[in-house]
Amino acid sequence: MFTFDIYMKKKILVAPLNWGIGHATRCIPIINWLIDYNFEPIIASDGDALNLLKKEFPKLKYETLPSYDIEYTKKGNNLKWKLIAQTPKVLKAKKAEKKITATLVEKYNLSGIISDNRFGVRHKKVPSVFITHQLNVLSGNTSQLSSKLHQGLMTKFDAIWVPDFKNEPSLSGKLGHTNETNNSKLFYLGPLSRLNKTTTKEIYDIMVLISGPEPQRSLLIKKLFTELKNYNGKIIFIKGVIEPKQTCEVNGNFTVYNFMTSKALEHAINSSKVIICRSGYTTVMDLTKLGKKAFFIPTPGQFEQEYLADYFNTLKLAPTCSQDQFTLNKLETITTYSGLNMEYTNPDLEALFGLF
């Protein structure tokens, strides 16, 4: 283990993208590893991602990065074109990120940068890492182009950390694996999860775990409240809305929270028989580590989530359907699926952090 003097801790910038809260939550184990190895993490993000990490690590230093301010659609089939139309806005934010990063390098005398999907958070004088599970970016009939563009941007970083297993069976499938076998920058971390499996009595028959951006988050919340209102079992419902204070409302067999921090969420998932959720990659990693049965409802128009949901359905690990098609009866199929369960191990942290 590294043994730096307590007064000479190397400072590492950790900067997750604010796209839902998945990028922030999967950085939590990395932040904890940095602390364990006597580094000082400096957190930089915006919006819900920044607020969540402030709740998890109240004693760390924080910086605000520009928001990508992505707008989403109510109709999933329009999402790709709406995202493409907002490319100038993203490029402007990337340019601003790069300028702020240069300032932070000087302000904190940074020894390293870990960027989770923020292309502007890097510096030529500081070892810079890019975290992604998407070496290939799916976008329908433009997947080859989007993948090449993404891979080109990643080459500007000194290392690429992929939160998945290097070999099959994997969690990301073709998203996190390419035919390129000799890329010295690639390092497979294994899946990242802030949660741990515990021996806990199952209290809830169903857990609804909502994540992702508006307006689709609210549309799914409304849909599930409607479809599950006649269900007789106990339901815990997490809206995934990060607010200053946690709220809890009990309405019949529903227990509804606005959000949960790590420990409470860990207990709630371990205490639930079935999880209804998006097929976002961070959620997949969490549920696999806890060995849970899931029903996936991908965010409409998000090719990555649609691919992952189909991938696990094909492997007979978890059923799926579209948001519009979900009904209570769909849950009956879950008994024929084996559920998500893979053994996790930590990466070689000394090799990982040797870059810094």
* pLDDT tens per residue across span 145-200: 777 777 778 889 999 999 999 988 899 999 999 877 667 899 999 999 999 999 99
d(CA 326, CA 227): 8
Q: Which CATH superfamily is domain 204-336 in?
A: Glycogen Phosphorylase B; (3.40.50.2000)
* 6-190+345-353: CATH class: alpha beta
pLDDT at position 15 is: 98
d(CA 299, CA 44): 26
Query: Where are the chain's structural domains?
Result: 6-190+345-353, 204-336
3-state secondary structure of 315: coil
Helices 47-56 and 22-36: crossing angle in degrees, nearest 10, is 40
How close are the terminal C-alpha atoms of the chain, in Å?
Answer: 13
| 112 closest CA partner among 120, 102, 122, 103 | 122
Element holding 259 (H helix, E strand) = none
What is the DSSP secondary-structure string of 114-180? EEES-TT--BTTB-EEEE-S-SS---GGGHHHHHHHHHHHHTTSSEEEESS-SSSS-SSGGGS--S-
The percentage of the chain sitting over the pLDDT mark of 70, rounded to a whole number, equals 91
At residue 72, does pLDDT exceed 60?
no
Beta strands 186-188 and 204-209, pairing class? unpaired
Q: Which residues of 112-151 are buried (b: 16+ CB within 10 A; e: fewer)?
A: bbbbbbbbbbbbeebbbbbbbbbbbbbbeeeeeebbeebb
At residue 355, does pLDDT exceed 80?
yes
* pLDDT tens per residue across span 189-233: 999 999 999 999 999 999 999 987 788 999 999 999 999 999 999
Q: Quick check: do 6-190+345-353 and 204-336 share a fold?
A: yes
